[in-house]
Amino acid sequence: MRNAGLAVRTEGWYEKQERIGYSQTSSLLTEWKKLEDLEFLNEVSCVPLQQCLRHLQTAFTNFWAKRSKYPNFKKKRNGGSAEFTKSAFKWRDGRLFLAKCKEPLNIVWSRFLPQDCYPSTVTVKLDPSGRWFVSILVKDPSINPLPKTGKQLGIDVGITSLITTSNEEKVANPKQFNRLYKKLRRKQKALSRKTKGSNNRYKACLEVAQVYAQIKDARTDFLHKLTTKLVRDNDLIAIEGLAIKNMVKNHKLAKSISDASAA
């Protein structure tokens, strides 16, 4: 849906110098559903489709305001997401029903929702490794500000030591990429031997993506635990600003910089 809307808006701008907004693409949605190759759009609720077009409008708004680059087309292999607002899902007895789905989603909960909290938005996401995630937005009135500690902390980011604090404490870089590098290289070699367009190549791509997902999850887990501790122990934290995107252009250091979780 995003790619269809982006194609129409791009064509309108480059061929007719015409700005096509959300209202026009929303009107086109009805016509797209009638096309033979887009009939599958009728199988899902219109809410996530409309939300996708709204997000595209936001991307263009940021582009015209020079806050971001021109929106890109999304690739199917990179996964995707769908956002459902209150009118497109039901929350009943701890079970989640999406619009046009007869059965509730079979969810393995990472955490349970607070009592007496009703979701306001549900986002279903597919990542490149083939894993499905459900993100549920709720307002929890039981959350209170952390108690003040009266402490302040400065942080210097590095490669050998992930961070060095103003208290002269150092946190070593766990180097998650190096830990899984051999496994990743083995999967990538297997992928290179597969015929393009074959089912075996698709399976090999998933296996490579799964290794990358393991690396990402390990980095995220370590970083969340570290930052949670820092936030709970300090009232004010100052950290140096780094242009990571520019730094990774150095091919000799790119892997080491990327492997630093703080990057």
Question: Which sequence spans correspond to the domains of the chain?
Answer: 2-73, 80-137, 152-259
Q: Is the dihedral of CA 181, 182, 186, 192 positive or negative?
A: positive
Q: Is 153 helix (H, G, I), strand (E, B) or coil?
A: strand
The three-state secondary structure class of 58 is helix
**pTM value?**
0.80
Letter string b/e over residues 82-118, b meaning 16 or more CB atoms within 10 A of that residue's CB: bbbbeebbebeeeebebeeeeeeeeeeeeeeeeeeee
Angstrom distances, CA of residue 207 to CA of 101, 129, 214? 30, 7, 11
pLDDT, residue 16, reads 80
Q: Measure the CA–CA gap between 168 and 228, rounded to whole angstroms.
A: 19
pLDDT given at position 263: 44
Give the pLDDT confidence score for residue 77 in this predicted structure.
Answer: 81
* pLDDT of amino acid 248: 67
Residue closest to 56 by CA, chosen among 91, 99, 10, 90: 10
pLDDT averages per 10-residue partition of the chain, 263 residues: 87 83 88 86 89 92 91 87 92 89 90 84 92 91 87 86 86 85 93 92 93 91 91 90 71 69 49
